[in-house]
Amino acid sequence: MEWPLMSKLQPEIYGPPESAITKEIVQKVIGSFMMTFDEALAQKKLFMLDYSDLLLPYVNKTRELKGTTLYSSKTLMLLTLAGTLHLLAIELTRPPSDEKPQWKHVYTPTWDATDAWLWKLAKAHVLSHDSGYHQLVSHWLVPFFL
């Protein structure tokens, strides 16, 4: 994984390419695993599920439909000593539109009541993106390649 995280889309259309997931945000969450950010990066223990560049071109078109919304997502995970992936951070992004600038926000695990619900909603967005991508690639496109 390359750090810092960057989008490969055109900044003049989709906004600044730098991710809002910073080393400092990750270090706060990763500290409880007795590891530093630099150690996790060097040991290749950080993994990313990135639907940002895939979905960002469709966000504004989807948001034009009444009663709908869409964000793109980046999800950062840590491979723990137990061999499991632990969610560290989720970034939801909306590109700039005619009336609004680019919007990016990072959600991390928390015990605060309001932020805990926002964390659950961010995870729901990622699960929706992952499920939709799986359905498209595994079930809709496979017959074309058989």
31 lies in some domain: yes
62 lies in some domain: yes
pLDDT reported for residue 144: 65
The enclosing domain of 97 has a CATH number of 3.10.450.60
pLDDT reported for residue 139: 76
129 lies in some domain: yes
**Pairing verdict, β 103-107 and 85-94:** antiparallel
Bridge partners, 76 (sequence order): 48, 89
5 lies in some domain: no
Q: Calculate the alpha carbon distances from 146 to 56, 87, 133, 134, 138 in Å.
A: 30, 35, 19, 17, 12
The pTM score is 0.90
For residue 49, the SS3 value is strand
Structural domain count, the chain: 1
Residue 140 is encoded by which pair of tokens? 């809709």
pLDDT, averaged per 10 consecutive residues of the chain (146 residues), comes to 90 93 94 88 94 90 88 95 94 90 94 93 95 82 64
6 lies in some domain: no
Phi, psi for 86 (deg, rounded to 5): -110, 125
pLDDT reported for residue 131: 92
136 lies in some domain: yes
Q: How far apart are CA 28 and CA 32, in angstroms?
A: 8
pLDDT reported for residue 133: 86
